[in-house]
Amino acid sequence: MLPAERRDLLLTRLRVDGKIVAKDIAVELGLPEDTVRRDLRELAAAGLCQRVYGGALPAAPAAADYQTRTAVAPDSKKRVAATAAGLIRPGATVLLDGGTTALAVVDALPADLSATVVTHSVTVAAALVGHPGVEVLVLGGRLFKHSAVTCGAITAEAARGVAADLFLLGVTGVHHRAGLTTGDADEAALKRTLSSRAAETYVLASAEKIGAVSPYTVLAFEEVAGVVTDVPADDLELARLGAAGVPIVRAS
């Protein structure tokens, strides 16, 4: 088998099985395990998988830069955002994460909504200017340009003074084994802080995030009230999440 054929096979297994165990693939193909590991390193360097101990998991396309993410699964994000916006009750205090799906949530809010939104996203805050009934509180700090959000110790300290009814959490990966993940360690830490300041946390999971994995864990599934997603009911990873007891909120 040619190297390119091996790598195509590995990518197919990732899509179908949701994981690769290097030693098992090596036995199946009659290859040294080091050969499979080298293939996985090359795929990871190309952004096509996420290396983990013993093998690999699917990489998250949502980990791209902010401008690129605006063109990824826009229809899926709109469906997820519309369902998530419906979770916001009049008079509620809501923590709204950054990212392109969070921005779509703003677009889906009723024009006459009366609520308080606390955010560390400069793009979300700017979009809320057009909602006269929404009070907007912006958490300051160092601007993390990759996601257009503030981050770091200053932002975390400000977040600790918030008591919210709901947190709409953005992640780049939702995987039944790896959990909820994102691509930056500081951002992951801030998301945990934000979640701790809300009575309930719901995950915004457009289609490209389901089954994907990024390097840094945000939360365990047990710490969220639900994962809002629009992936088809027969999706293999959705079935794995359901079997693991992950609460799914269907968006349509």
Of the listed ranges 42-46, 194-198, 231-235, the one predicted with least confidence: 42-46
Say which CATH architecture domain 66-250 belongs to.
3-Layer(aba) Sandwich (3.40)
Task: State pLDDT tens for residues 113-162.
Answer: 999 999 999 999 999 999 999 999 999 999 998 889 999 999 999 999 99
Residue 71 is predicted with a pLDDT of 52
Indicate the pTM of the whole model.
0.79
In this model, does residue 5 exceed pLDDT 70? yes
Residue 132: Cβ within 10 Å count:
10
Residue 28: Cβ within 10 Å count:
12
Residue 199 is predicted with a pLDDT of 98
Of the listed ranges 52-61, 86-95, 200-209, the one predicted with least confidence: 52-61
Q: Which among 241, 245, 221 is positioned nearest to 233, based on CA atoms?
A: 241
Task: State pLDDT tens for residues 12-42.
Answer: 888 778 788 889 888 888 889 898 888 888 8
Burial of 171 (0-12, 13-18, 19+ CB in 10 A): buried
Report the b/e string of 201-237 with b at 16+ CB within 10 A.
Answer: bbbbbbbbbbbbbbbbbbbebeebbbbbbbbeeeeeb
Per-residue pLDDT band at 61 (split at 50, 70, 90): low
**Mean pLDDT along residues 51-70:** 68
Per-residue pLDDT band at 73 (split at 50, 70, 90): low
**Mean pLDDT along residues 186-200:** 97
d(CA 46, CA 72): 18
Per-residue pLDDT band at 97 (split at 50, 70, 90): very high
Task: State pLDDT tens for residues 99-114.
Answer: 999 999 999 999 999 9
Domain ranges of the chain: 3-59, 66-250
Residue 69 is predicted with a pLDDT of 52
Q: Are strands 179-182 and 173-175 parallel, antiparallel or unpaired?
A: antiparallel
User: Residues with Cβ < 8 Å from 130, sequence gap 6 or more?
Assistant: none
User: Residues with Cβ < 8 Å from 194, sequence gap 6 or more?
Assistant: 95, 97, 120, 159, 167, 169
Residue 216 phi/psi, 5-degree rounding, is -120, 130
Mean residue pLDDT of the chain comes to 90
The CATH number of domain 3-59, selected from 3.30.390.50, 1.10.10.10, 3.90.79.10, 1.25.40.20: 1.10.10.10
Give the helix/strand (H/E) hosting 219. Answer: strand 216-219
Looking at the DSSP bridge assignments, the partners of residue 247 are none
d(CA 196, CA 125): 21
Q: Are strands 134-138 and 20-21 parallel, antiparallel or unpaired?
A: unpaired
d(CA 100, CA 187): 15
Task: State pLDDT tens for residues 161-189.
Answer: 999 999 999 999 999 888 999 989 999 99
Of the listed ranges 72-76, 161-165, 201-205, 237-241, the one predicted with least confidence: 72-76
Residue 119 is predicted with a pLDDT of 98
